[in-house]
Amino acid sequence: MSKRILISAALAASVATLSACGGGSSGGGNKDNNPDQPSVPDTYSFESQITAGESAVSYTGQTARHVLIEDLVLALQDLSDEPGAIPGDVAADLDFYISGNVDSTNYNYSLDGETLIPGPTFGDISTGKNLDGKIAGGNGTAGGEVDKLIGGEFFGWGELGVNDLPIELVDLFIERVATEATDGTDPQFAITGGTANIGTVTVDAAGRDYRQLIQKFLLGAVTFSQGTNDYLQTDFADDANHEQDGDAPYTFAEHKWDEAFGYFGAARDYNSYSDEEIAGDAFYKDSNNDGSIDLRSEVNLANSTNCAKRDKGSTSGTDFSKTTFDAFVAGRFILNQAAAEGSLSAEQLDELNSHIDVAAKTWEKCIAATVVHYINDVVADMNEFDNGAFASQANFLNLAKHWGEMKGFALGLQFSPNSPFRDGSVSGIGLQDLKDLLALMGDAPVLADGSQNGEAPAGTAQEAIDAYITDLLAIRSTLQTAYEFDSADVENW
380-394 tens-digit pLDDT:
999 999 999 999 999
- Structurally, the chain folds into a number of domains equal to 1
In a domain, 12, yes or no: no
In a domain, 255, yes or no: yes
* pLDDT class of 428 with cuts at 50, 70, 90: very high
Average pLDDT for 406-423 = 99
Residue 197's domain spans which residues? 185-492
pLDDT surpassing 80 at residue 35: no
Task: Give the type of residue at 6.
Answer: L
pLDDT digits (tens, 9 = 90+) for 161-183: 999 999 999 999 999 999 999 99
Helix (H) or strand (E) segment spanning residue 422: helix 420-423
51 exposure class (CB count in 10 Å sphere: 0-12, 13-18, 19+): middle
d(CA 116, CA 289): 13
Please report the pLDDT score of residue 12 as a whole number.
36
Instruction: State in Å, rounded, how far the first CA of the chain is from the last one.
Output: 14
Q: For 235, left (φ over 0), alpha (ψ -120 to 50), or beta?
A: beta
In a domain, 464, yes or no: yes
CB 50 within 8 A of CB 336: no
pLDDT digits (tens, 9 = 90+) for 259-292: 999 999 999 999 999 999 999 999 999 999 999 9
- CA angle 461/464/468 to nearest 5° reads 140
CB 332 within 8 A of CB 257: yes
In a domain, 243, yes or no: yes
In a domain, 347, yes or no: yes
pTM, two decimals, is: 0.92
In a domain, 394, yes or no: yes
Task: Give the type of residue at 356.
Answer: I
Residues 6+ apart with CB under 8 A from 427: none
pLDDT digits (tens, 9 = 90+) for 38-87: 889 999 999 999 999 999 999 999 999 999 999 999 999 999 999 999 99
Instruction: Give me the helices (H) in 383-392, please.
Output: none
pLDDT surpassing 80 at residue 7: no
In a domain, 9, yes or no: no
In a domain, 313, yes or no: yes
Cα-Cα-Cα-Cα dihedral sign, residues 272, 274, 277, 283? positive
- DSSP string computed for 282-337: -SB--TT-SSSEETTTSB--THHHHHHHHHHT-SS---HHHHHHHHHHHHHHHHHH
